A and B are shown apart, each in its own frame.
Chain A
Amino acid sequence: MHTNRPERRQSRTKEKLETENRGSQEGEIKTKKKRGNGEVERRRMRMKKRASATCPHARMPTYSLTFLAIVYIVFTIAVSLSNAGERVVRVGVYDNAPKIFVSESGKPEGIFIDIIEYIAAHERWKLSYIHGTWGEGLARLERGEIDLMPDVAYTAERDKRYSFNKVPVLSSWFQVYSRQGSGIRSLLDMRWKRIAVLEGSIQQEAFIRMAESFGLHITIVAVPEYDKVFETVSRGEADAAVANHFYGALHARKFGLEDTAVVFNPSALYYASRKGVNDQLLNVIDNNLSGLKKDTHSMYYKSLNRWTSEEVEFELPTWMRTLGIIIGLALIMSIIGAILLKHQVNMRTRELREANQRMEERIIERTAELAAAMEKAQAADKLKSAFLATMSHELRTPLNSIIGFTGIILRERVGPLNDEQKKQLNMVRSSSQHLLALINDVLDISKIEAGQLQLAYEDVDVRQVIEKVVQTTRPLAENKGIGLDFRIIDGDMGIKADYRRLEQILLNLAGNAIKFTEKGSVNIICESDGPNLNVRVVDTGIGIKEEDMETIFKTFRQIDSGISRRQEGTGLGLSISKRLVKLMGGSIRVTSVFGSGSTFSFSIPKERKTG
């Protein structure tokens, strides 16, 4: 019970829907009717308007109806007349391509067919084709089973049985076609040969007549169908064949035959009809033909052209056709390719343009970023410079008073000092001087790294610089009991250099040498070498281990001296010296034998290098 309810409800709704649909359909019909009525009324109105426009009187519809009736009657008569004039013309067809033949699709084709169809269309003939052999065709014509037989050569004998049209349709001649390599080139070569001809044809008669006139003994192989004539030769049942030149030109090569110089019986070809019957038909053909032959652009010449040019196409070797197809395909493909290529080029151009635009945008962006970075870097540089200047001042200011007051007290200007006080104050002074050296070196390194150290070039006498350095460092050497000397090999020591910085390098190297030499001596050797100045600082000190050679020029490196006391110094001297030499456009290097001494040598240009 429960399950039934919804079903019933559903069916009810269905019914409802159906009735609704019916209703709507009826509604539609009604509206259509309404529309229909409206149209008829509108038409009537239009007609009325027209009638009133052409005729001033209101009763005019009666006249127009009469007029329409008359027109209808005249038209009907005309149509029946034209139907009566559309006569059926029965045409015989046989196979003698390209003059006349039935194509593979079963449709009659060829020059004679083209012409007769053109005339038929012109004269409202209905053509009916009857296909058969040449002999059958002629027999049907005699029996009155066909009205026309195309491609009939005129002979006096035929003239007794058939009627011919007067304007020749085609001029033809017969030719002998021989199997390739048969040796038949002229008429006399055909002696004792078997020659295939179309049975009962003009060429059969003519050929026999010609052969007899030359007294040649020739075996005639009569073949019932034109198609089979060449085939007979190619099969070896005959040595040569006789055919009209139209047929020969079209088919010889296909059967492996070649044309010979034997040409005979030029003839004219016509449409023929049963004797005495259909003369009117032949007259119509003549009228059309003479017109067609006068105009070189007429379908007559087009047909000739078509069928004779097709011969050439037909003779095209397979490879050539294949080549043609390939070339055609290649052409089509290349055109398609060109189109595709053009499309692609367009696409790529568009892409490139877009990429270019993106690139430009990015360049602008990056330039802005770079400019910002540059500004930032410049700001950072300024900050660094400011920092360095401030540090320089801030560190040195307190050192100034430390060193100054220590000096004053040690001089005992303030009052006498005992030995211990002196000893300790000397330590203060030494430490503060070391601190000052450190500050100076760190500042130098910073300045060089920030690219803010500029060399002040002036005329410098190197001898004077060396003398001053020796004079400054001599107390240190004397304290240690080692020798200190210098030697100048080349007398001319006038160069362009930064005096203070050159002195700084020499002080560093000489100071280092003395520091690390316990016995023996330190020697400064200077020589002028072409455009360069070479300076060597040679000591007989502790030397440098192999593994330390690389790191010796790095900052804060002080090699293990092997002596209990760590050597005084900032560990920056060699690093600064190397940078200064580089800044001057020169180079510095070290050679050493561990335990027996080191040689630091540097070379700088004597003239300032531009750029």
Chain B
Amino acid sequence: MKKKILVIEDNEQNLYLIKYILEDCGYEIFSAMDGKKGIEKAASLLPDLILLDIQLPVMDGYAVAQALRQIPVLQKTPIVAVTSYAMPGDKEKAIESGCSGYIEKPIDPDAFASQVEAYLRIKDNNGGGDEKGCTNCR
């Protein structure tokens, strides 16, 4: 059975890029263009992994992560922040908001698939996210 990945990303090109790379790897990709739709889809789809852009319109990634963690069925789902390393404390803020890890933009097309695979494996092993994922995204 194909792993389900939900991508919450407002930029069409980036969404397409991620989708292209990951579908090529054999994952089933779902997408949402803003935080609110993302939360709704996550709650209904119960994906294996959520890739979350932080700079989103209206509701930013941190708020989305917090909201996602409020949904009991999603408490152990890895949420990976995909964003530019902008200001000091961004990374910490993402973790505090409930993200399991962090992948820096711009993504490396060669490394991206393996990074995603690593987070999925963490989910399989531990039944939830932990901070080990961070070492992959320095």
Q: Residues on A close to B: CB < 8 A?
A: 385, 388-389, 392-393, 396-405, 407-408, 411, 413, 436, 443, 447, 452-454, 456, 499-500
Q: Are A453 and B17 in contact (CB under 8 A)?
A: no
Q: Residues on B close to A: CB < 8 A?
A: 11, 13-14, 16-17, 20-21, 24, 55, 83-89, 105-110, 112, 138
B84 → chain A closest CB, angstroms? 4
Select B84's contact among A385, A392, A456, A500, beta carbons within 8 Å. A392
With A392-B87, A397-B14, A454-B88 known, 13 other A-B pairs at CB within 8 A are A389-B86, A392-B84, A399-B106, A400-B13, A400-B14, A403-B108, A404-B14, A404-B112, A407-B109, A408-B109, A452-B87, A454-B89, A500-B138
Residues of B within 8 A of A404 (CB): 14, 17, 21, 106-107, 109, 112
Q: Are B86 and A400 in contact (CB under 8 A)?
A: no
With contact pairs A401-B13, A500-B138 given, residues A396 and B106 touching in the complex (Cβ less than 8 Å) = yes
Tell me the bound Cα distance from A411 to B111 in angstroms: 13
Tell me the bound Cα distance from A422 to B112 in angstroms: 22
The number of residue pairs between A and B whose CB atoms lie closer than 8 Å in the complex comes to: 71
A468 → chain B closest CB, angstroms? 11
Tell me the bound Cα distance from A549 to B122 in angstroms: 51
Nearest chain B residue, comparing its CB with the CB of A402: B106
Nearest chain B residue, comparing its CB with the CB of A399: B106
Residues of A within 8 A of B106 (CB): 396, 399-400, 402-404, 436
Q: Are A397 and B87 in contact (CB under 8 A)?
A: no
B17 → chain A closest CB, angstroms? 4
Q: Are A393 and B84 in contact (CB under 8 A)?
A: yes
Q: Is the interface of A mostly helix, strand, loop or mixed?
A: helix
Residues of B within 8 A of A397 (CB): 11, 14, 55, 84, 105
Tell me the bound Cα distance from A397 to B110 in angstroms: 18
In the assembled complex, 17 residue pairs joining A and B whose CB atoms fall closer than 8 Å, in A order, are: A388-B87, A389-B86, A392-B86, A392-B87, A396-B106, A397-B14, A397-B84, A400-B13, A400-B17, A401-B11, A404-B17, A404-B112, A408-B109, A411-B110, A447-B88, A454-B88, A454-B89
Tell me the bound Cα distance from A447 to B109 in angstroms: 28
Tell me the bound Cα distance from A452 to B86 in angstroms: 11
Q: Are B88 and A407 in contact (CB under 8 A)?
A: no
Tell me the bound Cα distance from A392 to B84 in angstroms: 7
Select B17's contact among A385, A405, A411, beta carbons within 8 Å. A405
Select B20's contact among A396, A408, A452, beta carbons within 8 Å. A408
